[in-house]
A and B are shown apart, each in its own frame.
Chain A
Amino acid sequence: MNWNCTLVEGNLSDFLEGALSAEESAGFSAHSRSCPACAEMVEQVSALMGGMRRVQAPEVPPRLVKKILDATLGPQPARQGWRRWFTWAPAIWETRFAMGVGTVAASFLIVFHAVGGPSGAPQKLDLSPVHIVHAANRQAHLTFARGAKFVSDLRVVYQIESQLRPEPEMEVPAPAVEQLERPTPKPETEPEQERKPDSKDPSSTTPPSTRDLEQSSPRENQEQAGAAGRMVLAVLRIQPVNHARSLS
């Protein structure tokens, strides 16, 4: 059989449903590979059939069954007594009803957990209004205290970091740079006192730079670490955090 575009179009459904013989399928495929128009058509129809298999059936209106029963068997007598309160019962089997019930239950669970409901097996006492209000009040205070503690901790950390951060190097004007590059005789009298005034003064809170720490001796390092520790304590004294009071 000489496969052309007309034959491919006429046998497209048979090919996609696997109704062609092996020889016919080979001829069909060979032509589809060589003909872009047929290849596109095969791809589109194949995708369409796959999509239609997944399409959901239209939702039947809830009252349609009752209308059909009324039209065939005649109007049903109105339910008497307690049964008339359960005319909505058939709607329970609707998919939308089940989804709505699930959503409401999930919302209740989330709210119950947010107000501090017990994580374990619930007891009868947990459902009393007084207990629920008390638990919600406690959960709100706990949340507030945790937030306040977090903010205070952040503030302390930032203050310590800002104190320990090495100062940015001062920009030296161009003439000064030239002056530094030239070999100049070292001053003999005051350099030591000018360069390290803080290392000999333990009461000073000025933090040493990283370069100073690297170049200083072990004794100087101890003194500088002591100064940093005192500085940290001073910062902590500035911002006291009394978690016990905030939680009570």
Chain B
Amino acid sequence: MQRHTRRVYGLCYRFTGNAAESEDLSQEVFLRIYRTLASYQPSYGAFPTWLTSVTRNILVDNYRRKRRERLTDSIEETLPQVEKRPSPERSPDRLALDAELSEQLQQGLAQLSPELREAVILRDLQGHEYAEMQLILQSPAGTVKSRINRGRIELARVLKEMGVGPA
């Protein structure tokens, strides 16, 4: 239970960047899993893959709902805010041991489109294989690989603009 909770909460937090919202979404994920557990079929993939797939669907629903709400709000309040403070050029390898990289990575992920963001999170932060990602994203292999590649390049560009770059 702890392991699955960690996986679901981590995916929610990396996608939304909000701890309280991630907690509510994790709760919603397990509630849906609990209700639809009887309909689970092996064709959905292994249980962790299915769990991630359900989490991703709830994240997409949540994103669309928030986007609709966002149309009534001002753009400045809803756009992800990235703190562009001047910081010296530092290598992500060195920063990996530092919690600061996690925060900067979170800010960088918020700049990506949802498609690229979820692809990078699932592949590089959650370690899913390409076959699993095809099931989770319900997309062909070429699309999955293309999103991962473009997401990495875009995230590296955003982090460079934030002052986080290779030494």
Interface of A with B (CB < 8 Å)?
9-14, 41, 43-45, 47-58, 60-61, 64-65, 67-68, 71-72, 93
B26 is an interface residue with CB less than 8 A from chain A: yes
A-B contact pairs, 21 of them (CB 8 A): A9-B149, A12-B149, A13-B145, A14-B145, A14-B149, A44-B157, A47-B91, A47-B93, A48-B155, A48-B156, A49-B124, A49-B152, A51-B91, A52-B124, A53-B96, A55-B102, A57-B10, A58-B10, A58-B14, A64-B9, A71-B30
The stretch of B51-59, B62-70, B132-140, B159-167 in contact with A is: B159-167
**Shortest distance in angstroms between B30's beta carbon and chain A's nearest beta carbon?**
5
Smallest Cβ-Cβ distance to B7: which chain A residue: A57
In order of increasing CB-CB distance, the 10 nearest A-B pairs are A51-B92, A54-B96, A13-B149, A44-B156, A72-B34, A47-B166, A52-B124, A58-B13, A51-B96, A57-B10
Closest-by-CB residue of B relative to A93 is B2
Using A41-B156, A56-B102, A67-B23 as known contacts, say yes or no to A48 and B10 having CB atoms under 8 A apart: no
Q: Is A12 touching B23 in the complex (CB atoms < 8 A)?
A: no
**Once the chains are docked, how many angstroms separate the CA of A44 from the CA of B160?**
8
- A12 contacts B10, C-beta separation under 8 Å: no
Known: A54-B96, A61-B23. A48 touches B152 (CB 8 A): yes
Our pick among A41, A53, A60, A68 for the contact of B124 (Cβ within 8 Å) is A53
Which listed residue, B19, B26, B96, touches A55 by the CB 8 Å rule?
A: B96
Task: Other than A13-B152, A52-B92, A57-B6, give 15 A-B pairs with Cβ distance below 8 A.
Answer: A13-B145, A43-B166, A44-B156, A44-B160, A45-B153, A45-B156, A47-B92, A47-B156, A48-B155, A53-B96, A55-B101, A57-B10, A60-B5, A67-B23, A68-B27
Contact A64 B23 (CB under 8 A): yes
Also in contact, A64 and B27, with CB within 8 A (given A44-B166, A47-B92, A72-B34): yes
Interface range on chain B: under 10, 10 to 19, 20 to 34, or 35 or more? 35 or more
Asked if A52 and B145 sit within 8 Å, CB to CB, the answer is: no
Q: Are A50 and B149 in contact (CB under 8 A)?
A: no
- A68 and B156 contact, CB distance less than 8 A: no
Chain A residue nearest to B14 (CB atoms) is: A58
A180 to B19, CA, bound (A): 91
Task: Given the known inter-chain contacts A10-B149, A44-B160, A51-B101, please indicate yes or no for A68 contacting B26, CB distance below 8 A.
Answer: yes
Most buried by B among A53, A54, A60: A60
Q: A52-B125, A68-B5 are contacts. A9–B101 as well, Cβ < 8 Å?
A: no
Give bound CA distance, A56 to B14, whole Å.
11
Closest to B165 in A: A44
B105's nearest neighbour on chain A, judged by CB, is A55
